[in-house]
Amino acid sequence: MIKPANPPDEDARLAELRSCNILDTLAEKEYDDLTRLAARICGTPTALISLVDRDRQWFKSRVGLDATETPRDWAFCAHAIHDQEPLIVPDALEDERFRDNPLVTAAPNIRFYAGTPLRTGAGHALGTLCVIDYERRQFTAGQKEDLEILGRQVTALLDLRRKTRRLAELNEEKNLLLGAAAHDLRNPLGVIQGFSEFLLEEAEELTGPHRIFLERIHSNSRYILRLVDDTLDLAAVEAGTVNLRREACDLARLTEQCLELSRVQAERKNISIESRIEPDLPQISIDSVKIEQVIQNLIGNAIKYTDEGGRVDVLLEQDASQAVLRVRDTGRGISQEDLKSIFRPFFRAQEQGTAGERSTGLGLAIAERIIGRHGGKLDVISEPGRGSEFVMRLPYANP
C-alpha cells in the first residue's frame, strides 16, 4: 500500500476545510440527495461525500456504508485530492497503491473506486464525491462527466456554507460594535440633554438667537439619544441577547394604554383615533414591555405620517390561534419599492413626518424582530396616497 502524501498547500487546505464548520455535523438532506443521485447514476451500491481531515477521512454523507470515518492513510480520497481529474480505479487489487489497503484486503473489500475532487475557488481540494463497488467494473465517459457535475454541486454547497458562516460572524461583529459605540455615547448625550433642559427651564427670560441655539441643542440631543437607545435595542435583538420575559397579558388592556398615550400626539395634529377591540379576548403569553413598545411604535408612526385632519384606526381581534392587531391610517402611504426595505435597519421611506417629526429609521426594524422572537409576524399593506395598514400577528401558544 502506498500512503498518500500531503498536498503542498496542506495547511491552507485544512484551514479552508475548517472554515466550513462542517466536520462532525449531522446529516443534511442537501448533501444526502447528491450522494444518492451519484450512486444511482453510476450504478454503485455505495457513494460518499468524503472530507479529508489531517489524520482521517470523514463522511459528510454516505450511502451503502456504515462507517463514518477511516484513517487518512487508508483513504482512496486522500490520493484523489491531488488531481484535477477524477481518480478512477477499475480494480483495486491490480493497483499497487491500494492492493494491500485494509479496506481492500478486508471488509468492506473495495474493488472499484471513482472519486472527483471537491476543489474550491481557492484551488484547495477539501475531499471528494466518490462511488464505490465491491467487484471490478468499468466506468463510462458519461458516468465520469455526471460525477464531476454532481461534485461541483457539493462544492457549491460547501462554499455557500462557508460564506453563510462568515456573514453570521460579520453580523455578530457589527452588533457588538454598534452596541459598544451606542453604549459609550449614551452617557455624554444624556448629560448634554439634561443640562440643556435645565438651562431652558432656568433661563426663561433668554430670547433671540441664544435661546434658539439652546433649543436646538436640546432637540438634537434628545433625537440622538433616542437614536442611540434604538441602536442598543436593535443590537441586542439581533445578537439574541434579549430574553423575553413572558407572562400572561391582557392584550386589549395593553392596547388601550397605548392608545391613551397616543391621543395627545394625535390631538396636536387634529387627527382622530378610532379603535375597535373584540370583547373577551383570551390572555396571551408575551413580554408585555416589548410588545407595548411595538404597539406604541405602530400607532406613533401612523400619526406621524398622517396629515392634519386625517384618521387612524386601531383594531384588535382574535383570528383562530392568534391575536391580530391592525393599525390603519389615511396618510401618505408607501411605494412598492420602499415596501421591500421597510423593515431594514436605518431605512427611512420619508425623512420626516407630516409635521416635521424625525425618525431614527430603526423603530420598524426593532418591532419586526421583537414580533419574530415571539413567533409572530408583522406585515404591511400600503399604497401611495391611500394610507397604510400594519398588521401584527401573535400566536397564543408559545413557539
**79 band by pLDDT with thresholds 50, 70 and 90:** very high
Report whether pLDDT(159) > 70: yes
Better-scored residue on pLDDT, 293 or 219: 293
> What is the 3-state secondary structure of 148-165?
HHHHHHHHHHHHHHHHHH
Please give the CATH architecture assigned to the domain spanning 167-239.
Orthogonal Bundle (1.10)
Residue 229's pLDDT is 65
Burial of 13 (0-12, 13-18, 19+ CB in 10 A): buried
**CATH number, domain 10-166, options 3.30.450.40, 3.30.1360.20, 3.40.920.10, 3.40.50.1220:** 3.30.450.40
Report whether pLDDT(388) > 90: yes
Q: How many helices (H) and strands (E) does the chain have?
A: 10, 13
The domain segmentation of the chain, as residue ranges, is 10-166, 167-239, 247-395
Cell numbers that stand for 333 in this block: 402611504
**398 band by pLDDT with thresholds 50, 70 and 90:** confident
Cell numbers that stand for 336 in this block: 412598492
Residue 206's pLDDT is 65
Residue 389's pLDDT is 94
**221 band by pLDDT with thresholds 50, 70 and 90:** low
**22 band by pLDDT with thresholds 50, 70 and 90:** very high
User: In the predicted model, what is the mean pLDDT of the chain?
Assistant: 86
Contact yes or no for 57/28 (Cβ under 8 A) = no
**127 band by pLDDT with thresholds 50, 70 and 90:** very high
92-117: pLDDT as tens digits: 999 999 999 999 999 999 999 999 99
Cell numbers that stand for 370 in this block: 421583537
Query: Rounded mean pLDDT of 56-60?
Result: 97
Residue 164's pLDDT is 87
pTM for this prediction: 0.57
Contact yes or no for 53/22 (Cβ under 8 A) = no
Peptide bond into 399 cis (omega under 30): no
Contact yes or no for 144/86 (Cβ under 8 A) = yes
Query: Rounded mean pLDDT of 138-152?
Result: 96
Better-scored residue on pLDDT, 357 or 209: 209
The fourth-level CATH superfamily of domain 247-395 is Histidine kinase-like ATPase, C-terminal domain (3.30.565.10)
